[in-house]
Every structure is written in C-alpha cells, then in structure tokens.
Amino acid sequence: MKTEVRRDRVQVAVIGAGPAGVLAATLLHRQGISVRVLEKNHFPRFSIGESLLPQSMVYLEEAGLIGGLQDKAQELGFQFKNGAGFRHQGRYVDFDFTDKVSPGPGTTFQVKRAAFDKLLADQAQEQGVDIRFGHGIDTVTTDEQQALLTGTDNEGNAYQVAADFVLDASGFARVLPRLFDLESPSGLAPRQSFFTHVRDHIAPADFDRNKILISVHPQHHDVWYWLIPFSDGTCSLGVVGEVAYFEERGLDNETMLRTLVAEEPGLKALLSQAQYLNPVNSLKGYSAKVKQLWGKRYALLGNAGEFLDPVFSSGVTIAFTSASLAAKALVRQFKGDVVDWQADYAQPLQQGVDVFRTYVEGWYDGIFQDVIFYPNPQAQIKRMVCSILAGYAWDRSNPYVAESKRRLAALAEVCRLN
C-alpha cells in the first residue's frame, strides 16, 4: 500500500456519481467551473428507483444529457413512460402525464438504474467532467478557506481534495449527514420494501407497459406494490409496508414477496408466469431528513438531504431539482454574487419536497387514495393532480401545489361525501 498522499484542488467537489451528482457536476462544468466527482463504487452498480417522472427530462435537457438517453433507450431496455396506473380491489384508474396543467414534458422512461446511472456518467465524462470511480470518502472538514476531503481509492492510495465547496450527492450513504451529525427524524412511519427484477411474461393485452402500475393490498391500504415495466420483457417488482407488518410474518425475503403478490388478485394474475431473475432484496427505515440542507462550504443534494418514500417515484426528480438549484447558486457565487443558501437553495427545494410529502402522507392515511379512486373526477382537477404525479411539484400556479395540504384535504372530503 502506498503511503504518499495525493492532494488536488478544485472549485467544487461532488460526493457521488448518481443522478444528482452527475447533473450538478455537468451543469457546473458547462459554466467553466472546475469540478471533481468522487464515487466510491464502480459503474454499473445496482440501484433502486427505476421510474422517472417527466419533470426530470427538463433537467437532462438543461445539462445536455438527454440525447444519449433517447438514443440508447431501446438498447438498454428502457421503457417509454407516459403515466401511472393505480389498482385497488378490482378498480383501475390511470393518469396520462401528457394531460396536465403544468407546462413541460409529459413523457419519460422507466430505466434500469445500473445502466441509466452509467449512461449519465459516461455522457458527463464525454463532456469533460472529471469523475473518479473507486474513491471513498473518510473525512470532510470545512473552514473559512476551504473544504478538505480525504479518502482512499480502491487500490489503497490515500488522497485529498481541497475545494471551495462540496456537494453531497451520496444518496443513501449520506456522507455529510453522517460525518456532520445532521440526521433528523423523517416524521414518516418506518417502512420496509422487498424487491427484485422478474421476467414477467405478461400478455400485451393485459398490461399497459407505458405506465408504472401501483397496486394496493386488498385488505391493508397502506401496503402497496410497484410494477415497473422495461422494454425487454422484464419488470421491477416490489412491495412496501410498515416494518412491523412484515416482521409479524417472519418470512424470508423471497417468500415474503411471493406471498404478498399472491394476496393481490390482479397482480397475482399478471405475474402468474413470472420468473424471479435476482435474489429478493430489502430496505427498511429508508425515509430520512436532515437538520439543515446546507452549511459552511457545503450543500446536500437529493437523498443525501431528504428521502420521502418510493410511492410516487419522486426521488430522481427531487435529486435533479436539488442539483439544478445548487449549480445555479454556485455559478452566481463564483461570479462574486452574494448567495443566500437558505433563500436561494433550501427554501425553493423544500417547497416541492413538502408538496410531495403532502401526497405521500395522504396516500398512507388514505385521503389521497380516496381522490385517486374516486369514480367521477372533475377533468381539470385531475389534470392538476396529474401535474404533481408527473413531477411538477414546484409549479405554484397549480393550486394543488400552492396550497397542497388544504386543497388535498378539501378534495378528499368532497370525494368521500359523493
């Protein structure tokens, strides 16, 4: 093992080469800012969160990363996506993301994250972004002059990177929240997911592969399933519920998932010929929050800051939004402008996150399910709700964004009374 410590200096160090880190680094690089991305793993690597929202396409276009996605979609098994379907006790409702009130794209893709994340990183490197794979982070310190990151690469070489600013895009690893004691209770009940990929063998007439399918357990409305189709005849399959619900059953991962799928008649029929392609994995207690989204010479992006829940596939959209906001703030800061990171970054990011939180909480307490499965929705209201499901949670011209809690509660009450 070498003992010599290599030290480099950049304007911005980015921890993590997932969607948030690569987008932020690319946006900064395109503005002439020196940036280095430090990624512990080598790509491709497995990651959950395969269903994108149309809002994400705006940010990919902004960073010049959308072309590769469109060109490689079929080759990589990415599935065109134009909406979401919901099913409960035999009732099916779908939302067409092109039928919304917010401007912007109405379609996107369902992606295998291992391939998607590598594709974005490859495109960023082609633009000249410096990404160092196999570089883990051990410590980060900040003072009035700089931030200093120290770590070891996978060949055992120690390194240091001095930077004017650090963006933590480390996802569930949550490097800076862990090192800086920023963790905070999420306020959401602890939940667990069981998931895998399957070769589904679903007949085309039985399933709209252009939409993610969210199914609700027939007896337990807070237990739900995702079925995310890919274009190569496979799907991402998962189930989510409170940790205690699963612990009471005491089953191994695969038996748990197979048993729960068998309890939802519609999903059982769709997947009657499915072959499980990978071991069933599990995550629990994944909802996370922090005391603050920024501090001296750093900001937290995406899941490193806050992760709500997978139910509406908001993770990548929040990650991209945080990356875009942070990059814009840093460009101004390096030009000599005074940036108020609370007003210019944390508050606008949190506005959209809080909208998603309203609908996540409404999903689990049942009021949003009452809205979704209401048999006679008013067309314009459905378009407003559809905008949020498509990721446009920052469009405050939409009343169901601007007053999310009050509007959703009132709408649910109307649905329940009629």
Bond from prior residue into 44 cis (ω within 30 degrees of 0): yes
Average pLDDT over residues 175-180: 96
Instruction: For residue 225, give its domain range.
Output: 191-284
Q: Measured between alpha carbons, how far is 72 from 58 in angstroms, rounded to an integer?
A: 18
Q: Measured between alpha carbons, how far is 225 from 235 in angstroms, rounded to an integer?
A: 12
- Please state, as a whole number, how many other Cβ atoms lie within 10 Å of the Cβ of residue 127: 13
Model pLDDT, residue 3: 56
270 contacts: CB under 8 Å, gap ≥ 6 = 200, 202, 206, 207, 227
Average pLDDT, the chain: 96
Q: Residue 418 above 90 pLDDT?
A: no
91 within domain boundaries: no
Candidate from 166-175, 184-193, 195-204 with smallest mean pLDDT: 184-193
Instruction: Please check whether residues 115 and 24 belong to one and the same domain.
Output: yes
Question: Quick check: helix, strand or coil at residue 10?
Answer: strand
Instruction: Please check whether residues 240 and 173 belong to one and the same domain.
Output: no
94 within domain boundaries: no
Model pLDDT, residue 2: 47
Average pLDDT over residues 92-115: 97
Work out how many domains the chain is built from and give that number. 3
Tokens encoding 202:
């679903």
Instruction: Please check whether residues 268 and 292 belong to one and the same domain.
Output: no
- Please state, as a whole number, how many other Cβ atoms lie within 10 Å of the Cβ of residue 153: 17
Q: Are 94 and 215 in contact (CB under 8 A)?
A: no
Q: Measured between alpha carbons, how far is 376 from 370 in angstroms, rounded to an integer?
A: 12
Instruction: Please check whether residues 158 and 231 belong to one and the same domain.
Output: no
Model pLDDT, residue 410: 97
Which domain CATH number covers 148?
3.50.50.60
Instruction: Please check whether residues 69 and 179 belong to one and the same domain.
Output: yes
Question: Quick check: helix, strand or coil at residue 2?
Answer: coil
99 within domain boundaries: no
Instruction: Please check whether residues 143 and 175 belong to one and the same domain.
Output: yes
87 within domain boundaries: no
Q: Measured between alpha carbons, how far is 88 from 73 in angstroms, rounded to an integer?
A: 31
Segment (H or E) for 33? none
Average pLDDT over residues 252-270: 98
Instruction: Please check whether residues 177 and 215 belong to one and the same domain.
Output: no
Model pLDDT, residue 180: 97
b/e string for 176-194 if b means 16 or more Cβ within 10 A? bbeebebeeebebeebbbb
Q: Measured between alpha carbons, how far is 51 from 189 in angstroms, rounded to an integer?
A: 23
Structure-token match 């991402």, residue found: 236
CA 131 to chain centre: 21
Give the 3-state secondary structure of 379-410: HHHHHHHHHHHCCCCCCCCCHHHHCHHHHHHH
Summarised one tens digit per residue, pLDDT across range 143-154 is: 999 999 999 998
Q: Are 47 and 195 in contact (CB under 8 A)?
A: no
User: Which amino acid is located at 317 in the chain?
Assistant: T
Give, rounded to a whole angstrom, the gap between the first and last alpha carbons of the chain.
71
**pLDDT-derived band of residue 1, with 50, 70 and 90 as boundaries?**
very low
Angle (nearest 5°) at CA 122 between 5 and 229: 125
Average pLDDT over residues 212-237: 97
Q: Are 251 and 182 in contact (CB under 8 A)?
A: no
Helix and strand counts by DSSP (H, E) for the chain: 15, 20
**pLDDT-derived band of residue 139, with 50, 70 and 90 as boundaries?**
very high
Instruction: Please check whether residues 171 and 233 belong to one and the same domain.
Output: no
408 contacts: CB under 8 Å, gap ≥ 6 = 358, 359, 362, 367, 368, 371, 400
Q: Measured between alpha carbons, how far is 52 from 54 in angstroms, rounded to an integer?
A: 7
Average pLDDT over residues 289-304: 96
Looking at residue 136, what DSSP letter applies?
E
237 within domain boundaries: yes
Which domain CATH number covers 199?
3.30.9.100
Instruction: Please check whether residues 308 and 177 belong to one and the same domain.
Output: yes
Give the domain-ending residue among 262, 284, 306: 284
User: Which amino acid is located at 408 in the chain?
Assistant: L
Instruction: Please check whether residues 216 and 311 belong to one and the same domain.
Output: no
90 within domain boundaries: no
Q: Residue 411 above 50 pLDDT?
A: yes
Q: Residue 6 above 80 pLDDT?
A: no
Instruction: Please check whether residues 46 and 156 belong to one and the same domain.
Output: yes
Q: Measured between alpha carbons, how far is 140 from 14 in angstroms, rounded to an integer?
A: 12
Q: How many CA atoms lie within 13 A of 319 on its CB side?
A: 28
379 within domain boundaries: yes
Instruction: Please check whether residues 346 and 301 belong to one and the same domain.
Output: yes
360 within domain boundaries: no
Segment (H or E) for 229? strand 224-229
